[in-house]
Amino acid sequence: MEAFLLEHEGEIILAAMVFGFVVVALAESTVPRRNITATLGWRWLNNLGLTLVSILAADWVKLALILSTAWWVDQQQFGLLQWWEPGAVASLIVTFLVMDLTLYLYHRWMHRSPLLWRLHAVHHSDTEFDVTLTYRSHPLVVLVMALLRLPVVVALGAPLWALILYEAFGVLHDLFSHANVRIPEKIERWLRYFIVTPDFHRLHHSSDRRYTDSNYGQNFPWFDHLFGTARQRPFQDHESMEIGLERFRDRRDTRLDQMLLMPFRGERFRAPAPPRPIGAVVTTD
């Protein structure tokens, strides 16, 4: 198993991306959560265009940086898990938890830092929510986040095979968490205890900053609950909830070239979120 992962890591992650996209897109056409057909063609054209640019310019670099660093850690026997040697199952669990906590904390930082927010706002500026939003990210933010993860990879000493599994799982889950798919309320309410669901993450893309600055979890919601950043709204609200930012709502703003230039249009950016008290889960409206 480990040998197969190490020999085919690129193919595994690419297959997860293509397979996951097709499955989620088919599900969206069958059981949509929101009616977004009016903007579907234009959004898909530009969102997928940005996805392609990001993959060619940044995603393969991100993957190479993270996995080559993990390979070096393996070779040098450096880092916590290399010294501790807790076994395969424990190493996998610790890798998933630590990497997800890292992404949770970095995600919160992106909403606080004026510079990082300029890059991250490209993802938040979409006025709808579906599978094409998954990789609607500026290439620069992909590279920055990859570099920020490297010290954690080194300190953790995660086995390369465990990181490959985490990356593949993350690809599939990212597509799922951005899906415009209706999940029955009772199932969704149960499912959100274990993973970030589309409803849980959609709230993070609300135009209302009370919700934009919450629900930061990447794959698992546990850190949002632990640190008091989890929020929710009634199930039926998601069908009419406004998505996106207060600015960048014109059709022109969703064009590929404008998304690439967006971080440099400083006059139209809001300040990053001010610190707010950390409290319990809040249900509002």
Q: What is the pLDDT of residues 118-170, one digit of tens each?
A: 999 999 999 999 999 999 999 999 999 999 999 999 999 999 999 999 999 99
Residues across the chain: 285
Give the global pTM: 0.89
Q: What is the DSSP string of 95-163?
A: HHHHHHHHHHHHHHHHHH-HHHHHHHHHHHT-SS-SGGGTT---HHHHHHHHHHHHHHHHHHT--HHHH
Amino acid letter at 205? Answer: H
Asked whether residue 221 carries a pLDDT value surpassing 90, the answer given is yes
pLDDT at 63: 87
Of 170, 172, 149, nearest in space to 64 by CA: 149
State whether residue 208 is helix, strand or coil. coil
Amino acid letter at 6? Answer: L
